[in-house]
């Protein structure tokens, strides 16, 4: 691949896109291709493919979706942060920023962009993160500042926020209509493990049975859209 040279003599920043939707990947690639100082060096639909491409392309920045074809976006962020600490990451997702942005930042991401935002925002986020900044929406910044100022005496967290990253991921998939076996296959976990997560979710959310869990998860997913 020919390296694009900028007027300043610096090479264009290499971007890797990890998203399970081909249309989304294509859209991001086209927008990034318009930037003289950026280029897309690869696209992946799941964690395994992403890790292979990281080794072969050595990207400067990776755009990651929370939900992937196989594997977990949050888990991928953690692995990138551990194995490739110099590579910067941004989350681009449809999931609720208030619920997921902090989790993404804890996993190692340096920015969070909701896919419903204007397409130009992702370029702004990439530029900010490449420059060493953390990128969040103004609303999310205000939310974090408010939480920081109120501390433990602030408003109690919604029950859903008590779920672990994996539990939240499992509940999201339940709400999307995936069966236990399908969730296990997507996350590369055993059916028994997924059933254990289901039980933990019911306890934390005070849900009596599988039917209540299903209804809660479906309603939660619909409200998040």
Shared domain check, 171 and 135: no
Q: pLDDT: is 66 or 16 the higher one?
A: 16
Shared domain check, 107 and 36: yes
pLDDT at 7 over 60: no
Residue keyed to tokens 């433990």: 152
Give the pLDDT of residue 149: 60
Q: Are 172 and 217 in contact (CB under 8 A)?
A: yes
pLDDT band at 2 (very low <50, low <70, confident <90, very high): very low
- Which residues does residue 90 pair with via DSSP β-bridges, in sequence order? 63, 111
pTM for this entry:
0.78
Shared domain check, 115 and 40: yes
Examine residue 5 and state whether it is found in any structural domain, yes or no: no
| Average pLDDT estimate for 16-30 | 93
Shared domain check, 85 and 63: yes
Shared domain check, 109 and 178: no
Q: How many domains does the chain have?
A: 2
pLDDT at 3 over 50: no
pLDDT at 124 over 70: yes
Shared domain check, 131 and 55: yes
Burial class (CB in 10 A: 0-12, 13-18, 19+), 102: middle
Give the pLDDT of residue 155: 52
Shared domain check, 112 and 203: no
Q: Which residue range(s) make up the domain with 166?
A: 159-224
For residue 88, the surrounding DSSP H or E stretch is strand 88-93
Examine residue 3 and state whether it is found in any structural domain, yes or no: no
Give the pLDDT of residue 144: 72
Q: What percent of the chain has pLDDT over 70?
A: 88
CA dist 138 and 145 (Å) reads 10
Shared domain check, 173 and 134: no
* CATH number of the structural domain spanning residue 97: 3.40.50.2300
Q: Is 50 helix (H, G, I), strand (E, B) or coil?
A: helix
Q: pLDDT: is 94 or 19 the higher one?
A: 19
Shared domain check, 57 and 81: yes
| Average pLDDT estimate for 117-136 | 90
Q: Which of 196, 15, 12, 3 is nearest to 122 (CA)?
A: 15
- Cα–Cα distances in Å, from 57 out to 42, 68, 192? 7, 20, 37
Q: Which of 24, 6, 37 is nearest to 15 (CA)?
A: 37
Give the pLDDT of residue 69: 85
């Amino acid at each position: 691949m020919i390296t694009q040279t900028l007027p300043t003599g610096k090479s264009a920043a290499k971007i890797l896109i990890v998203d399970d939707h081909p249309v989304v990947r294509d859209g991001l690639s086209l927008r990034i291709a318009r930037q003289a100082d950026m280029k897309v060096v690869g696209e992946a639909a799941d964690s395994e493919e992403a890790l292979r491409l990281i080794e072969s392309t050595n990207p400067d920045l990776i755009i990651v979706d929370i939900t992937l074809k196989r594997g977990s976006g949050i888990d991928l962020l953690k692995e990138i942060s551990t194995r490739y600490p110099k590579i910067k990451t941004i989350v681009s997702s449809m999931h609720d920023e208030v619920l997921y942005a902090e989790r993404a930042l804890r996993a190692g991401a340096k920015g969070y962009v909701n896919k419903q935002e204007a397409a130009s925002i992702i370029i702004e986020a990439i530029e900010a993160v490449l420059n060493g900044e953390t990128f969040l929406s103004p609303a999310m910044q205000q939310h974090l500042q408010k939480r920081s100022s109120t501390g433990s005496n602030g408003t109690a967290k919604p029950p859903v926020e008590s779920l672990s990253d994996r539990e939240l991921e499992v509940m999201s998939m339940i709400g999307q209509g995936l069966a236990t076996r399908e969730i296990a296959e997507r996350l590369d976990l055993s059916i028994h493990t997924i059933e254990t997560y289901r039980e933990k979710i019911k306890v934390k959310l005070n849900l009596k049975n599988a039917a209540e869990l299903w209804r809660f998860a479906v309603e939660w997913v619909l409200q998040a859209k």
